[in-house]
Structure 1
Amino acid sequence: METTAAPARAELVQRVTELLPTLRKNALWGEENRRLSDETIEALTASGILKMRVPHRYGGYESDMRSVVDVVSQLGRGDGATSWTVAVWMISAWMAGMFPDEVQDEIFATPDVRISGILSPSALAVPADGGVVLNGKWSFNTGAQQSHWNTNAAVLAQPDGTHVPIMVAIPISDLAVVDDWHTSGLRGSGSITTIAENLFVPQARVLHMGPVLQGQHQSVANAASVIYRAPFMSTACTTVGAVSLGMALAGREAFLDRLPGRKITYTDYANQGEAPVTHLQVAEATVKVDEARFHAFGAAEMLDTKAVADEPWTIEERARIRLALGATTQRAKEAVDILNAASGGSSIYHDVPIQRIFRDVQTLNLHAIMNPSTNLELYGRIICGLEPNTLYI
């Protein structure tokens, strides 16, 4: 098996910077076709970015979380849907490394394998000889049509009539696909629905979710890896938080790109950039972007520091990561809202990026894990001495 030295963070960010013209060029195509373009996927693959959370022994980089946040947020400057899809692929590739080594060998045998995943347990598994039989569906399955494997959640029926959550690894070819991704935002992510119908899954490809959420895994080969010393939710939340930051950066750039020479209709301002209201809007949005950056990279720093030191996580620390995710997502939306409102009537055309960024960041704020209010409540409960009201922490 191949082992590849991980590129430095600066090199990875430079690779993304070189991709931005391609991502921006293909963003409208992705919106119209509801998936990433082949050219975009080929460019992402060639850059090596999709290897960042793949184990070393399969040619991966095992990049730290600060590098992940740097890269994913920079991708968001080019296209939010691309950034979101890559974030999901990174999380799911990392998740695959929690399965037994023989399962990893099967998954990563595909060159440049892409793995999507769903954490909501919306399918039922019943025990069978040598494994389980799955029935159910997973909606919002980002990039599934352009992936090779799924790491999905389900509930496993127990003899006493109860159910326990599990994770399963499934080849996409074993699932039916429903092309139902007709949405107002993140259209290019292709987050369609997949369905399992009486699908047998071998026992080796079944993990109980409880240990997974605690960062415990069944891999012997990955036991010493630093990136597998972190809780699942904290890792996933920090990864997707970077998408929000990227959209905030994209919104600011898109606004400033259109600013020179734009007038404010029905006023005496022949140049919008000369109006004091514009100065206030740009400055306020910049503060929001900086706040989003603070929370996104703060979470990454916490993950990396504790992983290197191999320190245990408290419930409050896990909730703090969820809090940072909500804050990043909220501040990003606030920044884009300001700039979108300042962009004028001509910004509603599909070929003007700010309207797409506005819809994409709104979509992120509606995501159940990323919703700011949910994350505020969770942290507040714990600080006030209550137990968390969710397993996803």
Structure 2
Amino acid sequence: MTQNQGTDPEAATRTDAAAFDDMLAELAERRQEFRELRYVPKDFVARLKRLGLYRASTPARFGGEPMPPADFLRQIERISAVDGSTGWVASFGSQLVYLGPLPLETQAELYADGPDVVFAGGLFPVQEAVPTERGFRVSGRWKFASGCMAADIICVGIPGDDSTAGKPRGVLVRPELLEIVRDWEVIGMRATGSFDLVAKDVEVGREWSFIRGGTPAIDEPLYRYPAITYAAQSLSVVSAGVARAALDFAEQTGSGRASITGAPKLADRPYYRAGIAEAEAALRSSRAYFYEAADEAWQAVVAGGQVSDEQNAHLRLSAAYLARTAAEVVTKVISLSGTAAIYSDHPLQSLLGDALVPQEHAFLSPAMYDAAGAVLMGRPPTVPAFR
């Protein structure tokens, strides 16, 4: 949040909104640069820091400004409507809640230089770790470390033991102790910098390890919101922003291009108007369910309670459904857009690539439908780490 606004909260809000809009304008100018780099550079991540996105899940006791999940998710959606990759990287501002199980002394050290901490991780495949007197000696290669090029701290995954009830551990490593292998050659989410991480005999103190999905040491409302579920929501909402961009493009350009065959403009064709309207309804409906579930769960938390299993099932289901619906919306827009959209430099092609990625994430896979259905019918979830 922008500081030094005196005692006028409305002035601070206006200033913050203007700063956010300025960031989006710069992003629109630089998104192609980021795609060519294949990552979002540190200078732009620093700008996201100044907007408060990387203190939005830092505990208040360590100077954070925890943001209600729906508020944070709406900001990520707006960024993603300009560039999905940057939205994906910014979404990790929610994931410091993962680190809630760390000892309080470790968290105090983590935030000693301030609450704006950029977290990235390559948790899988889980790699073996050798126990040492201090903690663990880790070696191996982990994939999909989105945002690692600008990270302040990086998590890698190691096996659990008898003390973790079968859950894997994460260990936190300073970026300079890892090799980043830039092997991210993809069609969608190209600028996320989801590179591989390599460690060679890196020793990590036990106090810098935590149980993935373990009980937080922090007792604050955001840390009672299910951490893995919040991560799933943060990735899913990126697809909503991408789909919004596709629909805006379709609605703005539909009336402006005549067919080379002499056929009517797209907006003059009934099938185009009806198809875009149907896609609009689908996206807005899935978003409404997504944010309704988020608001309901958050209200349970701020009232002093916990997110129920049924509420968590709706959070997971709505996140998976939004990601799938958004991908279908962008696909539908392209199918309605004629031959112009088949060219590789057409704006809809990059949006299609970005839209297809979130639904492929393990947190948003079709298995979530079965797991959510099981919980809603009073049965255990059918996938691990469901909350």
TM-score by length of 1: 0.87
Does the 8 A contact of 1:85 with 1:143 survive in 2? yes
Counterpart of 1:67 (choices 34, 53, 71) is 71
Aligned pair 1:80/2:80, yes or no?
no
1:186 positional shift:
0.3
Q: RMSD of the TM alignment (CA)?
A: 2.7
Matching residue within 296, 304, 315 for 1:310:
304
Aligned twin of 1:258: 253
* 1:30 pairs with one of 3, 9, 34: 34
- Partners of 2:385 and 2:36 in 1: CA distance: 34
> Structure 1 147/384 Cα, relative in aligned 2: closer, same or farther at 3 Å?
same
C-alpha separation between the residues in 1 aligned to 2:339 and 2:78? 28
Q: Which residue of 99, 104, 123 corresponds with 2:107? A: 104
CA drift of 1:348 comes to: 4.5
The equivalences for 1:167-182 within 5 A come to 167-182=170-185
Corresponding residue of 2:318: 324
Superposition map of 1:177-188 within 5 A: 177-188=180-191
Give, as a single letter, the amino acid of the residue that structure 2 aligns with 1:209.
R
1:283 aligns with 2:282: no
In structure 2, stretches of 5+ residues that fail to align are none
Name 2:338's counterpart in structure 1.
344
Q: Map Cα deviations across residues 341-381 of structure 1 (whole Å, 9 max, x no partner).
A: 2233333555543211111111111112112x211111123
Aligned mates of 2:236, 2:60 — CA distance in 1: 25
SS in structure 1 of the partner of residue 198 of structure 2:
strand
DSSP-derived class of the 2:357 partner: helix
What is the match of residue 327 of structure 2? 333
| Among 191, 198, 202, the residue aligned to 1:195 | 198
**For residues 311 and 75 of structure 1, what CA distance do their matches in structure 2 show?**
32
Distance 1:106 1:184, change over 3 A: same
CA contact (8 A) 1:295 1:327 kept: no
The residue that corresponds to 1:128 in the other structure is 132
Where 1:356 maps in the other structure, the secondary structure is helix
CA distance in 2, matches of 1:299, 1:119: 27
In structure 1, which of residues 85, 93, 96 is the aligned counterpart of residue 96 of structure 2? 93
Does the C-alpha gap of structure 1 residues 55 and 375 become closer, same or farther in structure 2, counting only changes over 3 Å? same
How many angstroms apart in 2 are the aligned matches of 1:38 and 1:229? 31
Report the CA distance shift for 1:228/1:34 in structure 2 as closer, same or farther (over 3 A). same
Residues 21 and 345 from structure 1, CA distance in 2 versus in 1: closer, same or farther, beyond 3 angstroms? Answer: farther
Pairs aligned (count): 377
1:228 to 207, 220, 223: 223
Q: What SS does the aligned partner of 1:29 have? A: helix
Aligned mates of 2:23, 2:160 — CA distance in 1: 42
Structure 1 pair 383–195 and aligned structure 2 pair: CA distance change class (3 A): same
Report the Cα offset of residue 248 of structure 1.
Answer: 1.6
Select the residue among 22, 47, 51 that pairs with 1:47. Answer: 51
CA deviation string 1:160-187 (max 9, x = no partner): xx96511222211121211111111100
1:384, CA displacement in angstroms?
A: 4.5
- 1:184-211 CA distances to partner (integer Å, 9 max, x unpaired)? 110000000112222211111111235x
Alpha-carbon deviation of 1:257? 3.3
Query: Identity across aligned pairs (percent)?
Result: 23
Rounded to whole Å, the distance in 2 between the matches of 1:312 and 1:53 is 18
Quick check: 2:135–2:203 contact (8 Å CA) kept in 1?
A: yes
Aligned residue for 1:51, secondary structure, equals coil
Q: Distance in 1 between matches of 2:319 and 2:99?
A: 23
Secondary structure at the counterpart of residue 48 of structure 1: coil
- Tell me how far 1:337 sits from its aligned partner: 1.2
Partners in 1 of 2:324 and 2:304 — Cα distance? Answer: 31
Mapped partners of 1:178, 1:289: distance in 2: 36
Question: What are structure 1's unaligned runs of at least 5 residues?
Answer: none
Q: TM-score, normalising length from structure 2? A: 0.88
Q: Does 1:272 align with 2:266?
A: yes
**Superposition deviation, residue 158 in structure 1:** 5.5
1:84–1:189 contact (8 Å) kept in structure 2: yes
Which range moves more in the overlay, 312-321 or 356-365? Answer: 312-321
CA distance in 2, matches of 1:10, 1:238: 25
Match of 1:327, SS?
A: helix
Q: Deviations over 1:205-247 (max 9, x none)?
A: 111235x2xxx213xxx32x21111121222222222212211
**1:22-72, CA deviations, whole angstroms, 9 ceiling, x for partnerless residues?**
222222222222111455324323323332222334442111111111111
Within 1, Cα distance between the matches of 2:279 and 2:357? 19
* Distance change >3 Å, CA 179–CA 217, structure 1 → 2: same
**Contact 1:143 / 1:189 at 8 angstroms: preserved in 2?**
yes
Q: Residues of 2 paired with 1:317 and 1:67: CA distance?
A: 18
